């Protein structure tokens, strides 16, 4: 870079970390760069006008593209806890380009021995329940206690770019400033319930980078929280008072998979209502099957805004992990989740290969038209498409 280009304050030697990485923020922006998110060019920016704690981004300067990394570069960077390389590795995992997918699998295979050592916690709740605020309050507490915390916030996708709206990072301003925290928003891309397709791989990369607490936050529409349940050890359901959550929680069945129920916003004039809601949820739990063998789902109140009850919440999480590890449920659940992931990956690859097949592409419009006009029976259309695929 030319010496005429003014470097931001944090780019000076005293701020530099491994391989020139800033130790102050998880992402870096230099003057005169083109900002890219998920491989898409957004715009040229001035470093002074960009808040470096609002998004994970890939940058290129005026003199060329960022250096291309090979598998060993990714693996070593992840092992060293380099957040810039970790962010790029996650973008690699999220890519649907065949070259990137193959490289990502090689990276994951190399770092696999370093995975599986974190506490995996899923957090869900209806929009407005205060999930992001609660995660920030809990995350900063854990960081201050010496933990390394990774937050995978599955964001709603932009209808224009299909990328993450990135709202969660702006709402976790204090947490993203912690050097031992990593917040990664991932676009839901329209997936039912807002669960990103590559969240499991992202979780493994964060574990390999040394994060011992991994939190997965869903969009919270209540339709596929079971997917998050299948990739975490503990599942926390965040609710609030006065929004019909009691009925909604029962209807959606979220309570049936919740290991802990936290009534948030228990502060000020709402404190008494929050306690009543907690009692109601406590009664409901007795009519439901246990989400985890030998564990009765506790209900508690807290305030993410004032941090009231956050210590009690984490104590409950630790009690839960002590229970599942001593009873053998922890290891058994991890094994079942791996098998479930294995089967779902097979289904995903078969689905993609089927619709990418040239014969299927050629015949599909004809059969779709026949089904729409009721001139071809659905079963016959499906069978002929499968026959064409299998005979390729």
Do 229 and 305 reside in the same domain of the chain?
A: yes
Do 323 and 375 reside in the same domain of the chain?
A: no
Of 85, 113, 141, the position where a domain reaches its end is 113
Is pLDDT of 16 > 80? Answer: no
Instruction: Compute the 3-state secondary structure of the chain and give helix, strand, coil in percent, each to the nearest 5.
Output: 50, 15, 35
Structure tokens belonging to residue 40: 């898409």
Q: How many domains does the chain have?
A: 3
Query: Smallest Cα–Cα separation from 232: which of 154, 303, 177, 296?
Result: 154
Asked if 312 and 264 touch (Cβ cutoff 8 Å), the reply is no
First to last CA, the chain: 53
Mean model confidence pLDDT for the chain: 79
Do 254 and 178 reside in the same domain of the chain?
A: yes
* Cα–Cα distance measured from residue 278 to residue 299, given in angstroms and rounded to the nearest whole number: 6
Do 133 and 182 reside in the same domain of the chain?
A: yes
Asked if 291 and 258 touch (Cβ cutoff 8 Å), the reply is yes
* Helix axes of 131-144 and 310-327: crossing angle, nearest 10 degrees: 80
Do 382 and 245 reside in the same domain of the chain?
A: no
Q: How confident is the model at residue 304 (pLDDT cuts 50, 70, 90)?
A: very high
Question: What are 355-365's pLDDT values in tens digits?
Answer: 999 999 999 99
Q: How confident is the model at residue 294 (pLDDT cuts 50, 70, 90)?
A: very high
Burial 6-42 (b: 16+ CB within 10 A, else e): eebebbeeebeeeeebbeebbbbbbbbbebbbbeeee
Q: What is the CATH number of the domain that holds 362?
A: 1.10.287.130
* Cα–Cα distance measured from residue 229 to residue 216, given in angstroms and rounded to the nearest whole number: 10
Do 131 and 201 reside in the same domain of the chain?
A: yes
Do 166 and 34 reside in the same domain of the chain?
A: no
Do 97 and 131 reside in the same domain of the chain?
A: no
Looking at residue 155, its pLDDT comes to 61
Of 327, 342, 358, the position where a domain reaches its end is 327
Do 181 and 76 reside in the same domain of the chain?
A: no
Looking at residue 80, its pLDDT comes to 95
Question: What are 141-190's pLDDT values in tens digits?
Answer: 999 999 999 999 876 554 444 444 444 545 688 899 999 999 988 765 54
Do 310 and 358 reside in the same domain of the chain?
A: no
Look up the domain containing 76 and give its range: 1-113
- Residues in Cβ contact with 376 at an 8 Å cutoff, skipping those fewer than 6 apart: 367, 370
Question: What are 76-100's pLDDT values in tens digits?
Answer: 999 999 999 999 999 999 887 889 9
Runs of H (alpha helix) within the chain? 71-79, 83-94, 98-111, 131-144, 167-171, 173-176, 199-208, 225-229, 245-252, 271-285, 310-327, 329-356, 358-372, 378-390
Pick the range with the lowest mean pLDDT from 48-62, 203-217, 325-339: 48-62
* Cα–Cα distance measured from residue 98 to residue 96, given in angstroms and rounded to the nearest whole number: 6
Do 248 and 341 reside in the same domain of the chain?
A: no
Is pLDDT of 33 > 90? Answer: no
Question: What are 244-285's pLDDT values in tens digits?
Answer: 555 555 555 788 899 999 999 999 999 999 999 999 889 888
Parallel/antiparallel/unpaired status of strands 33-37 and 58-60: antiparallel
């Amino acid at each position: 870079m030319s010496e005429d280009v003014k470097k931001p304050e944090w780019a000076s030697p005293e701020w530099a970390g491994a391989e020139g990485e800033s130790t102050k923020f998880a992402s870096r922006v230099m003057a005169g760069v083109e900002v890219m998110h998920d491989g898409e060019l957004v715009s040229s920016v001035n470093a002074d006008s960009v808040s470096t704690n609002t998004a994970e981004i890939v940058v290129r300067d005026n003199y060329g593209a960022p250096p291309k990394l090979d598998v060993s570069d990714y693996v070593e960077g992840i092992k060293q806890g380099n957040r810039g390389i970790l962010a790029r590795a996650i973008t690699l995992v999220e890519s649907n380009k065949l070259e990137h997918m193959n490289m990502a699998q090689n990276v994951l295979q190399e770092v696999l021995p370093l995975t599986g050592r974190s506490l995996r916690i899923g957090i869900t709740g209806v929009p407005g329940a205060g999930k992001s605020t609660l995660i920030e309050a809990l995350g900063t507490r854990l960081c201050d206690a010496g933990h390394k915390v990774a937050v995978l916030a599955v964001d709603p996708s932009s209808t224009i770019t299909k990328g993450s709206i990135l709202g969660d990072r702006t709402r976790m301003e204090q947490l993203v400033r912690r050097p031992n925290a990593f917040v990664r928003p991932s676009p839901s891309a329209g997936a039912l319930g807002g669960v990103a397709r590559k969240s499991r791989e992202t979780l493994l990369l964060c574990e390999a980078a040394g994060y011992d607490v991994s939190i997965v936050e869903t969009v919270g529409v209540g339709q596929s929280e079971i997917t998050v349940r299948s990739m975490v050890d503990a599942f926390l359901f965040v609710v609030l008072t006065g929004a019909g959550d009691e009925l909604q929680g029962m209807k959606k069945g979220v309570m049936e998979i919740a290991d802990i129920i936290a009534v948030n916003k228990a502060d000020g004039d709402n404190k008494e209502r929050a306690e009543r809601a907690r009692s109601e949820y406590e009664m409901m739990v007795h009519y439901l099957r246990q989400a985890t063998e030998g564990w009765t789902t506790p209900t508690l109140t807290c305030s993410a805004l004032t941090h009231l009850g956050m210590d009690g919440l984490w104590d409950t999480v630790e009690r839960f992990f002590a229970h599942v590890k001593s009873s053998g449920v922890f290891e058994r659940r991890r094994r079942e989740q791996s098998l479930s992931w294995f089967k779902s990956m097979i289904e995903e690859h078969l689905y993609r290969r089927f619709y990418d097949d040239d014969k299927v592409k050629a015949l599909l419009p004809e059969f779709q038209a026949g089904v729409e006009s009721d001139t071809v029976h659905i079963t016959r259309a499906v069978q002929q498409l499968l026959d064409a695929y299998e005979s390729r």
